[in-house]
């Protein structure tokens, strides 16, 4: 419940601090006195957007602060989900700076407007004439029915199942689209893959083939050069080998004279051994050097195939071609595997559909059973509110469509008078009738769910006399289980309040100021008498006002 409201520098209010009690509070005041300002301030607390026009003094910041007692609302989970400190008495503060920037705090923790709006739905319900349009909304009608049907847990379960079912359908759609894409490319991918497989590509193969091609293409030149080198090395009299042997022999003769010559001798010996190995290998290589046109042709063909594939796939190495081959192989395999994946997803989706359909049917059955209970209660209250012939008919049909709260499609039919046919509520009910119907609905909901603090903003427009008395009685009855505010112009309703507040404005210097005041018993008599007879209060009006209060 709303315990305290503090307003500073908002519209016509310079400074206001007022405490509220539970049960029914009525608020009265002349048109333009500032009742809408109070609602505007509470709207800021509920997350409505603000602008600089809200500031009375454009040089000072505007502050609206409200204290809510929420121990009975079971809102700990909301505070945990939004990383907020929970307090049984929660303080919401909204600030509008002269710069136009707006800030919001819950128990001194900064919050954004979206979080504030979500919290506001649990704390306060400002009901105006415009909100009677909600009655024409199918989703709102279902919410009313579900409250009476005690369907909350079933709807939560359904939403969870629906989320899982939609996820499976999304996975299935993606798999089918992927299969369709792969199927279109399957033949071409298979052709490309077979082409690469046939090439029998190996890592490093291109460099080896190009080196061998270079060698085979120059075999005669190589033979000539290697043969000349071997001749120079092995000439019997003047060959390099013979000369090295003679140098070695000469140095060995003086190696014993000093370590210096011994070192030279060892180095020449090593050189002779290395040169001897080189000539042996060159000799073996020379013997293998033969013209092989067939091998040359094979290498040319293989390299040409590699170059063609590289150009086709726009790469420059065999290794990249092998990577493409592996990717194509995976695509071909994936296309085959997708059939199994799609079949599995179809089975899972069908099972999920069966489960969610069962939950939807449970929700539907409970709604159907709740219809007569709800219509009886609403028509009973409406009879007290001057609509004794009002009749309702909820048509609840189980459809094939999956909505966010079940598979039902609902039509709320209404007839206000005897002998008239049922019609859609939004088409056949007048504004005054809609106000009374909404009050009846709220009264019924108060029995079945924990409604937040509710403010009825002139819901009594268009009614008077005994009907106004009855509307006051309905709100009084609702206030036994919740906090109710009624902003009214009717003395019959004003008198029903456990507390009575008056909004008034006055001139202070060069400015106009609005105030909200809790009236004493005597002040209430005077206020209600003025509502009955105007500024010139008669004795009979005072007696009538006192009678209303008693």
Predicted confidence pLDDT, tens digits, the chain (550 residues): 999 999 998 888 888 899 998 889 999 988 777 788 888 899 999 998 887 777 888 888 999 999 999 988 889 999 999 999 999 999 999 999 988 889 999 999 999 999 999 999 889 988 876 667 777 788 888 988 999 999 999 999 999 999 999 999 999 999 888 887 776 666 676 777 678 777 888 888 888 887 877 777 777 787 777 788 888 777 767 788 888 887 888 888 888 888 888 898 889 889 888 888 888 888 887 777 767 677 778 888 888 888 888 888 888 888 888 888 787 777 666 667 788 889 999 999 999 999 999 999 999 999 999 999 999 999 999 998 888 999 988 889 999 999 999 999 998 888 888 878 888 887 887 777 888 888 898 899 888 877 789 999 888 777 777 888 899 999 999 998 889 999 998 999 999 999 999 998 888 877 888 889 999 999 999 999 999 888 888 889 999 999 998 8
Q: Cα(515)–Cα(352) distance, rounded to whole angstroms?
A: 59
Q: Cα(216)–Cα(210) distance, rounded to whole angstroms?
A: 10
Beta strands 62-69 and 89-96, pairing class: antiparallel
Domains in the chain, ordered, with CATH?
1-128+451-519 (3.40.50.300), 177-337 (no CATH)
Q: Cα(269)–Cα(542) distance, rounded to whole angstroms?
A: 139
Report the alpha-carbon angle 160-163-169, nearest 5: 145
DSSP helix/strand/coil, 177: helix
Residue 435 pLDDT: 81
Residue 334 pLDDT: 64
CA 439 to chain centre: 34
Q: Give this prediction's pTM.
A: 0.67
* Residue of 408, 439, 378, 438 whose CA lies nearest to 151: 408
Backbone angles phi, psi at 125, to 5 degrees: -125, 105
* Residue of 320, 62, 338, 300 whose CA lies nearest to 175: 338
Residue 129 pLDDT: 64
Neighbours of 321 (CB within 10 A): 20
Residue 58 pLDDT: 84
Q: Cα(536)–Cα(529) distance, rounded to whole angstroms?
A: 9
Residue 45 pLDDT: 92
């Amino acid at each position: 419940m709303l315990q305290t409201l503090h307003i500073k520098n908002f519209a016509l209010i310079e400074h206001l601090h007022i405490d509220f009690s539970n049960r029914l509070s009525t608020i009265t005041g002349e048109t333009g006195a500032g009742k809408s300002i109070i609602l505007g301030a509470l709207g800021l607390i509920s997350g409505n957007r603000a602008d600089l026009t809200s500031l009375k003094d454009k040089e000072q910041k505007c502050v609206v602060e409200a204290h809510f007692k929420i121990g009975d609302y079971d809102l700990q989970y909301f505070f945990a989900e939004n990383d907020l400190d929970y307090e049984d008495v929660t303080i919401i503060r909204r600030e509008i700076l002269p710069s136009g920037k707006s800030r919001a705090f819950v128990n001194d923790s900064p919050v954004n407007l979206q979080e504030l709006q979500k919290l506001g739905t649990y704390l306060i319900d400002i009901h105006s004439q415009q909100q009677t349009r909600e009655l024409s909304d199918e989703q709102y009608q279902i919410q009313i029915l579900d409250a009476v049907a005690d369907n909350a847990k079933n709807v939560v379960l359904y939403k969870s199942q629906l989320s899982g079912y939609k996820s499976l359908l999304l996975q299935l759609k993606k798999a089918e689209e992927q299969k369709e894409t792969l199927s279109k490319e399957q033949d071409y991918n298979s052709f490309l893959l077979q082409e690469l497989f046939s090439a029998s590509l190996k890592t490093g193969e291109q460099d080896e083939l190009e080196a061998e091609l270079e060698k085979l293409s120059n075999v005669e030149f190589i033979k000539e050069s290697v043969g000349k080198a071997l001749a120079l090395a092995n000439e019997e009299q003047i060959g390099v080998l013979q000369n090295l042997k003679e140098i070695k022999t000469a140095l060995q003769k003086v190696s014993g004279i000093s370590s210096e010559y011994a070192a030279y001798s060892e180095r020449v010996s090593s050189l002779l051994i290395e040169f001897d190995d080189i000539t042996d290998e060159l000799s073996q290589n020379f013997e293998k050097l033969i013209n092989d046109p067939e091998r040359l042709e094979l290498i040319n063909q293989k390299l040409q195939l590699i170059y063609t594939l590289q150009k086709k796939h726009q790469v420059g190495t065999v290794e990249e071609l092998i990577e493409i081959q592996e990717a194509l192989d995976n695509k071909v395999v994936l296309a085959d595997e997708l059939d199994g994946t799609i079949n599995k997803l179809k089975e899972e989706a069908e099972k999920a559909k069966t489960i969610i359909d069962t939950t939807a049917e449970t929700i539907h059955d409970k709604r159907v059973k709740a219809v007569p209970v709800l219509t009886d209660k609403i028509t009973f209250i409406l009879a007290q509110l001057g609509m004794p012939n009002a009749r309702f008919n909820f048509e609840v049909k189980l459809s094939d469509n999956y909505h966010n709260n079940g598979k039902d499609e609902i039509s709320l039919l209404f007839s206000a008078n005897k002998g008239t046919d049922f019609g859609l509520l939004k088409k056949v009910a007048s504004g005054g009738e809609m106000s009374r119907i909404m009050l009846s609905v709220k009264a019924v909901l108060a029995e079945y769910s924990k409604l937040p603090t509710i403010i009825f903003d002139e819901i009594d427009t268009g009614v008077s006399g005994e009907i106004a008395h009855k509307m006051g009685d309905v709100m009084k009855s609702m206030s036994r289980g919740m906090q109710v505010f009624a902003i009214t112009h009717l003395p019959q309703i004003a008198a029903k309040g456990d507390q009575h507040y008056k909004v008034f404005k006055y001139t202070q210097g060069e400015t106009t100021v609005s105030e909200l005041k809790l009236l004493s018993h005597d002040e209430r008599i005077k206020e209600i008498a003025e509502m009955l007879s105007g500024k010139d209060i008669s004795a009979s009006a005072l007696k009538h006002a006192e009678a209303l209060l008693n």
